[in-house]
Structure 1
Amino acid sequence: MHREDAWQILLDYTQEERTRKHGIAVEAVMQAYARLLHEDEEKWGIVGLLHDFDWEIHPTEELHPMEGSKLLAARGVPEDIRYAILCHAPFLGLEYRSTMDRAIYACDELSGFVIACALVKPDRSLSSVEPATVRKKMKDKAFARGVRREDLVNGARDLGVDLDEHIRFVTDALKPVAHLLGVNP
């Protein structure tokens, strides 16, 4: 599978710009981790790009991402990519089979949370986001209310990285695509 194919799937199933931007953000972070770990950047990026492709048509835990996985299978998406996408949903209780499975869980919510932190900065800049900024916002239950804080912590733990290092890594990985996300690098 190639990135262009994944992008077309995302376009076919999403209408909301924020869903597409989130896919681009998680794609960038997954690719950065793949580079760091000497893994397949395109494959890892595709997992990031597609992980929420079905959210608009299946916006409940009962359906997303299980029903989406069926749609991907019908479009010929490889099993390891589909399985990793399922792993971003901790409520499914799946066992990780690969580092890619761990990485998508670790990168999904944190990518969105870091961008939210940047958007409330006066300069709307990722450069203004530090681990301390993110940790402080994690304590504010009203901020990015939909993000489960335990997923941020557990994702880093499951990936085997320190949370502050993970926050810094995610923030840096987002900078090259910042112009596509509505924030400054």
Structure 2
Amino acid sequence: MTEGISGAITEPITGAIPPWRPLLRAAMQREGRSVAARWVQLATTGRDGAPRVRTLVFRGWAGADQLELFSDQRSEKVTELANDGAAELCWLFPKARQQYRLRGKVTLITATEQPELCQQRWQKLSDAGRAVWGWPTPADPLDPTAAFPDQLAETAPLPEHFVVLRLQVISVERLNLGPHPHQRTRWSADTLWQEQPLNP
């Protein structure tokens, strides 16, 4: 395991790097030290069939075409993904003037099923980053007396509700707003990645 851009975790690449990865990395680097460069919007389908979207933090690559996010197993999005792992990420890089949409299937990796992997990810977080897993159940009614720690030390035990969301990317769309006309490209994975220019 190595450190990726902006401190993200990157696993050794076992397959060929997809052609869109260097472009995405370059766009990310254009954002400099901005923490917003690691914010992605995750879209899923709710149990009622309606769309859901929320912002998460990109945590790193787990292979050539797999990326990781972290979440709380008690959250609604994890329940939604357990029922249907289909998801899409929208990733905007304002300085690069580029948007990426990554579509695929999410696998849930829990502390119960893979404690060693989850422990590695847990220890890579900052004390402040770990704190939210010490909070009460997300979206429950607020208890004014409940504790909301602002830090959890590296020695804090791995919570049972810590979960890694691993997205297997099968389709990527890049919109480049820099040139005129704008450039739009889609990559789709079969046995190999196929590139298709599109109208913007």
Q: Check whether TM > 0.5.
A: no
Specify the TM-score bucket, using the shorter chain as the normaliser: under 0.3
Q: Give the structure with the larger helix fraction.
A: 1
Q: Give the structure with the larger strand fraction.
A: 2
Higher Cα Rg, which structure: 2
